[in-house]
Amino acid sequence: MIYITTAMTILAGTLAVTNSKQQSILHYLGTNANKNYETGKLATEISCTIIVKTDSARATVEALMADPTTKGNLIFSTRYYKDVVPSGAINARLKTPDELVWYLDVKFTALIPVPYSVATDEELY
């Protein structure tokens, strides 16, 4: 995964992308009828666990996540999201006490909620 220009290693099985939409339900009084109105997509939430193996790599990720004004692209696999900001919260834990391998649970918010293709730079859906 790459956030802006910083490459990060994701712990397998921890990447989660949450898409949601906003809708309003209108009930017609005195009937059994309802109408659904789509009002747009909410920001996409992206969470994962980053593996860092050095103190300098941990400091880099923590500095990046600590600045809520940081905005950039988040690339993983064949897709990316635009205008992504960090949540600022990090849960850090050592893999084992004997190793200097850290697991950092991080969250990002994609202000533009649609993914783009890395190859074509077009919206995926």
Indicate whether 88 pLDDT > 90: no
Q: Where are the domains of the chain?
A: 2-117
E strands, 15-115, are 16-18, 21-27, 34-41, 44-52, 72-76, 79-86, 91-94, 102-110
pLDDT value for 4 = 93
pLDDT value for 74 = 96
Contact 114, 124 (CB under 8 A): yes
What single-letter amino acid sits at 70?
Answer: T
Non-local (6+) Cβ contacts of 47 within 8 A are 14, 15, 16, 18, 105, 106, 107, 108
Residues paired with 25 in a beta bridge: 36
Topology at the third CATH level for domain 2-117: Elongation Factor Tu (Ef-tu); domain 3 (2.40.30)
Kindly report, residue by residue over 42-84, the tens digit of the pLDDT.
889 999 999 999 889 999 999 999 888 889 999 998 999 999 9
pTM to 2 decimal places: 0.82
> Cα 52–64–68 angle (5° rounding)?
140
